[in-house]
Amino acid sequence: MANFSVVDLSRLQFAITTLFHILWPVLTIGLSLYLVVTECLWLRTGDVGWYHHCRFWGRLFLLNFGVGVVTGLPLEFEFGTNWAAFSKVAGGFFGNILGFEGAMAFMLEAGFLGIMMFGWQRVPRAMHLLATSMVALGGSISAFWILVANSWMQTPAGGHMVNGHFVIDSYVQAVFNPDMPWGFSHMWVACLETSLFVVGGASAWHLLKGRDIAFFRRSLLLAAALAVIVTPLQIYLGDGSGKSVFKEQPAKGAAIEGHWSTNPPGRPAAWALLAWPDKGAQRNDWQITIPGVLSWLATGSLDGRVVGLHAFPPDDQPPLLPLLFYAFRIMAAIGFALFCLTLWTAWAGLRRKLGADVVAGQKWLLRAWVAAIPLGYVAVDMGWITREVGRQPWVIYGILRTSDAVSNLPAASVGFTTVGYFLIDSLLLVTFVVFAWRTIRKGPDFTLPVPAREPRRLSPEGHRANGGET
Amino acid sequence: MSNVQFFLINIWLVFLGLFLTLYVVLDGFDLGIGVLSLFVREDERRGIMMASLSSIWDANESWLVVLGGALFGAFPAVYAIMLNAMYLPVTVMIFALIFRGVAFEFREHSKRRPWNLAFGLGSLIAALCQGFTLGGLIAGPAVHDARFAGSALDWLSPFSVLVALGVVFGYVLLGATYLIVKTEGEAQRHARRTAWIAGALMLAAAAGVSVWTPLIYPFVRQKWFGAGVVSPFLVPPLFALFSSAMLARALHKRYEHAPFLWSVCIFLVSLIGLAASLYPYLVPESISAYAVASDSLTLVFMMLGIGLLIPVMIAYNAYQYVVFRGKVTGPHYG
């Protein structure tokens, strides 16, 4: 019984640290790419306005980046501290991949961040662009390796168990496991999408206030233009991920949709739009279904066979079915909402309602953008809940049960650290939101000096090793 | 075991040693400056101290992540046992690193005082926890069937307290000598005085640890003096004494760079001494590197993805130091 609570506490702790942490890298990854775009635009067009975009959004980026780094530290070590048995079984592959993330991505971001943020007056423009690009590249590589590691836990491939260790036979198969292409692309595009709506939403707020219209109209239009590509792409990727889940992790797919009984051949499976799945009773307490739709969603064919939860013993079914059911629905609804907002914006643009003289008058459109700022974050957290709770009761799907993966620890230790993480992460989130809001509200600082084509020569005595010079 | 596997394991031990050294030296001066900031009254000077780290603290800390990932991949059981055994010091260290990390940016956005305290105390607690972890490692966690089999507070002992103090004094020495490089005038004079005190305290702690270790840990005694009183294990302490003498000379002559370099030398020989005392064990007396290493395919794959990047990582980190070389004169970050 004591062991039971260590598993629960460790799961809770990992959920807390992950759900908080992921909020920051999402913006780090998306906004760094956005900053590469604005810096390129500045260098290509010579328009100083773009330079000030680099500086203004860069300020938010720096604040965001620091919190992302420190909230990510726990995750590097929790596998060992809390999941020692898992680490021993999977370390040869999983640890290796985390090492790749550290050496190829984490270090790359950190190694160029200083130049990107404080080096405007110290290095040539091309070198600065290189630094910004390396920070952005590091963020995306980081997402890649983390999703490789996580997708391997969802659909382990490329090796077999020998004496309680997972031994890799083929790195190609393990890295490119069935879930990886979907998992990575869905997450990476989620980072872009969330960031676009943060930039666009913050810009819309300034436009509503009638401040710096030329400046913020530019960032809103850029964000909206990119959203035209990103939001439908994300719906396509979400659909593909879903079909992949039904193929590779049928119990997870059935749990997400509250689908209990496998449909007979030739009969399409009905889709529960809303329901209350009850694991104890092994059925939905109530449901509102749409006939036939689930076969199409899950398999792409109108009467495809969708295995129901009854095909799995309760011990192999995921827990917390209502959480899974609704987390998925909230995520998907947000994906469609952001797509609709993008369409609305495009429609307004086509009707010439977004011109510099009239954009501030589009009150409801701008308010919708402001309201969309948190939506991407909510969707990302709901998506991770769907992904990770749905994988249960396995830590490595079909190979190692979560209950067999924990460390040898007293529940008191894990309880102490879980409460600690919750308090610290909550404090960080509240503080970050307040400071980020102040940074955005302050608006751009047009007095910042534009870097010369070549940096001025600095004598060792005469320069400052910080941003004071800016 | 094949020759290839033997070779790969030893290569990875060298790489892990390199990552540990880079982390301890680089984040060491970083954390040391944090501890020192607790004793500074003027906000201006504290600002200069933090500004000297603004462009690099994050990269310095990243070596810990690289070290963790490499250990996890190359020796999964060691990663599992060590972190399981050191659950509380490691987790509290992470709490502390979170506070000191966000302090850099947060203090620019609000009242300074709480974040100054977060920076200073976070640095101190992180350094102490690293010391407890090292002390607990030397003591050797209880292991059964390649899993940690001890209890939650095994790492805590009078010995690990002494090690923890030694680590804090050592980091403060690194921090103070780094500030000699990065500052001038009154701040530099102050750093030099601090370096004297920290150096003396660290030397005392290191001497205590060196005498105490063979007395209470037979495997160390056997290793150090098994071949007679004159053993190769006398070389690291002798070289450490030499480096300390050179450090004192450099401080006395008011050199700017030499004190930091000699302090790094002291750390380097201490880590070499530690590694030589443990080799080939990664958990003393129970887990040998040869018994728990990942298979050759993994170690080769890691060579491609991490090993080959080592010179690249060092190069761009060095470039960042070059771009921000010179004295710090302003207290602002960002």
Whose CA is closest to B49, among B185, B174, B182, B170? Answer: B182
Q: Report the residue of A24, A64, A67, A81 to disrupt the B interface, i.e. the one with the largest count of B CBs within 10 Å.
A: A81
Identify which of B54, B59, B98 has the shortest CB distance to residue A71. Answer: B98
Q: Please judge whether A96 and B301 are an interchain contact, meaning their C-beta atoms are less than 8 angstroms apart.
A: yes
Query: What is the pLDDT, as a whole number, of residue B51?
Result: 87
Contacts of A264 (CB under 8 A, 6+ apart): none
Identify which of A62, A171, A420 has the shortest CB distance to residue B95. Answer: A420
Dist. CA B206–CA B42, nearest whole Å: 32
Residue of A nearest to B334 (CA): A467
Task: Classify residue A468: in a domain, yes or no.
Answer: no
**Per-residue pLDDT reduced to its tens digit, A294-315:** 999 999 888 899 999 999 999 9
Q: Please judge whether A103 and B332 are an interchain contact, meaning their C-beta atoms are less than 8 angstroms apart.
A: no
Q: Report the residue of B22, B105, B188, B292 to disrupt the A interface, i.e. the one with the largest count of A CBs within 10 Å.
A: B105
Q: Please judge whether B305 and A103 are an interchain contact, meaning their C-beta atoms are less than 8 angstroms apart.
A: yes
Residue of A nearest to B83 (CA): A81
- Answer for the pair A328, A386: CB distance below 8 angstroms, yes or no: yes
Instruction: Tell me the percentage of chain B whose pLDDT exceeds 90.
Output: 67
Kindly report the pTM of this predicted structure.
0.92
The owner of tokens 């596997």 is B5
Dist. CA A83–CA B24, nearest whole Å: 26
Query: What is the pLDDT, as a whole number, of residue B219?
Result: 85
Dist. CA A84–CA A98, nearest whole Å: 15
Residue pairs between chains A and B whose CB atoms are closer than 8 Å: 279
φ/ψ of residue A264, rounded to 5: -65, 155
- Answer for the pair B77, A88: CB distance below 8 angstroms, yes or no: yes
Q: How confident is the model at residue B117 (pLDDT cuts 50, 70, 90)?
A: very high
> A164: domain range?
2-463
Chain A residues with beta carbon closer than 8 angstroms to that of B328: 464-466
Q: Please judge whether A96 and B84 are an interchain contact, meaning their C-beta atoms are less than 8 angstroms apart.
A: no
Query: What is the pLDDT, as a whole number, of residue A164?
Result: 86
Q: How many CB atoms lie within 10 A of CB B102?
A: 26
φ/ψ of residue A341, rounded to 5: -60, -40
Q: Report the residue of A146, A464, A469, A470 to disrupt the B interface, i.e. the one with the largest count of B CBs within 10 Å.
A: A464
Contacts of A160 (CB under 8 A, 6+ apart): A166, A167, A169
B236: cis peptide before it, omega within 30°? Answer: no
Identify which of B64, B74, B152 has the shortest CB distance to residue A410. Answer: B152
Residue of A nearest to B324 (CA): A465
Above 80 in pLDDT, residue B1? no
Nearest-neighbour CA in chain B from A71: distance (Å): 7
- Answer for the pair A291, A270: CB distance below 8 angstroms, yes or no: yes
Q: Please judge whether B61 and A435 are an interchain contact, meaning their C-beta atoms are less than 8 angstroms apart.
A: no
Q: Please judge whether B102 and A458 are an interchain contact, meaning their C-beta atoms are less than 8 angstroms apart.
A: no
Residue of A nearest to B317 (CA): A111
Query: What is the pLDDT, as a whole number, of residue A462?
Result: 38
Chain A residues with beta carbon closer than 8 angstroms to that of B102: 66-67, 70, 428, 431
Query: What is the pLDDT, as a whole number, of residue A465?
Result: 40
Above 60 in pLDDT, residue B334? no
Query: What is the pLDDT, as a whole number, of residue A466?
Result: 40
The mean per-residue pLDDT over the stretch B52-74 comes to 92
Dist. CA A388–CA A187, nearest whole Å: 14
Query: What is the pLDDT, as a whole number, of residue B97?
Result: 96
Q: Please judge whether A464 and B330 are an interchain contact, meaning their C-beta atoms are less than 8 angstroms apart.
A: yes
Nearest-neighbour CA in chain A from B333: distance (Å): 6
Query: What is the pLDDT, as a whole number, of residue A97?
Result: 95
Q: Please judge whether A114 and B332 are an interchain contact, meaning their C-beta atoms are less than 8 angstroms apart.
A: no
Nearest-neighbour CA in chain A from B329: distance (Å): 6
Torsion of CA B210, B214, B216, B218, to 10 degrees: 160
State which residues of chain A have pLDDT below 70: 1-4, 454-470
**Per-residue pLDDT reduced to its tens digit, B205-224:** 999 998 898 888 888 888 88
Task: Classify residue A439: in a domain, yes or no.
Answer: yes
- Answer for the pair A300, A243: CB distance below 8 angstroms, yes or no: yes
**Per-residue pLDDT reduced to its tens digit, A414-468:** 999 999 999 999 999 999 999 999 999 999 999 998 888 766 554 443 344 444 3
Q: Please judge whether B76 and A87 are an interchain contact, meaning their C-beta atoms are less than 8 angstroms apart.
A: yes
Query: What is the pLDDT, as a whole number, of residue B2?
Result: 87
Q: Which two tokens stand for residue B261?
A: 């370099």
ipTM of the complex: 0.91
Above 70 in pLDDT, residue B75? yes
Dist. CA A247–CA B109, nearest whole Å: 49
Q: Please judge whether A73 and B98 are an interchain contact, meaning their C-beta atoms are less than 8 angstroms apart.
A: yes
- Answer for the pair B300, B288: CB distance below 8 angstroms, yes or no: no
Nearest-neighbour CA in chain A from B155: distance (Å): 14
Residue at B17: amino acid letter: G
Q: Is the dihedral of CA A269, A271, A276, A277 positive or negative?
A: positive
Query: What is the pLDDT, as a whole number, of residue A406?
Result: 92
CA distances from A259 to A235, A313, A330, B169 (A): 22, 14, 18, 62
Q: Please judge whether B80 and A85 are an interchain contact, meaning their C-beta atoms are less than 8 angstroms apart.
A: yes
**Per-residue pLDDT reduced to its tens digit, A324-359:** 999 999 999 999 999 999 999 999 999 988 888 888
Nearest-neighbour CA in chain B from A339: distance (Å): 34
Nearest-neighbour CA in chain B from A330: distance (Å): 31
Q: Please judge whether A107 and B98 are an interchain contact, meaning their C-beta atoms are less than 8 angstroms apart.
A: no
Identify which of B148, B297, B329 has the shortest CB distance to residue A408. Answer: B148
Q: Which two tokens stand for residue A289?
A: 């279904």
Task: Classify residue A96: in a domain, yes or no.
Answer: yes
Q: Report the residue of A23, A56, A107 to disrupt the B interface, i.e. the one with the largest count of B CBs within 10 Å.
A: A107
What is the three-class DSSP state of B212?
A: helix
Identify which of B69, B101, B305 has the shortest CB distance to residue A69. Answer: B101
Identify which of A67, A103, A428 has the shortest CB distance to residue B306. Answer: A103
Q: Report the residue of A6, A14, A24, A73 to disrupt the B interface, i.e. the one with the largest count of B CBs within 10 Å.
A: A73
The number of folded domains in chain A is 1
- Answer for the pair A272, A339: CB distance below 8 angstroms, yes or no: no
Task: Classify residue A31: in a domain, yes or no.
Answer: yes
What is the three-class DSSP state of B75?
A: coil
Identify which of A100, A168, A435 has the shortest CB distance to residue B297. Answer: A168
- Answer for the pair A37, A54: CB distance below 8 angstroms, yes or no: no
Q: Report the residue of A65, A96, A137, A424 to disrupt the B interface, i.e. the one with the largest count of B CBs within 10 Å.
A: A96
**Exposure string for A328-337, b = 16+ CB within 10 A, e = fewer:** bbbbbebbeb
Q: Please judge whether B73 and A87 are an interchain contact, meaning their C-beta atoms are less than 8 angstroms apart.
A: no
In total, chain B counts a number of residues equal to: 334
Dist. CA A31–CA A311, nearest whole Å: 44
**Per-residue pLDDT reduced to its tens digit, A207-217:** 999 989 999 99
Identify which of A95, A410, A420 has the shortest CB distance to residue B72. Answer: A95
The owner of tokens 């889709």 is A271
C-beta pairs of B272-281 under 8 Å, 24+ apart in sequence: B272/B236, B273/B233, B273/B236, B273/B237, B273/B240, B274/B138, B275/B13, B275/B17, B276/B232, B276/B233, B276/B236, B277/B213, B277/B220, B277/B223, B277/B224, B277/B233, B279/B13, B280/B13
Dist. CA A104–CA A457, nearest whole Å: 32
Query: What is the pLDDT, as a whole number, of residue A435?
Result: 94
Dist. CA B187–CA A302, nearest whole Å: 76
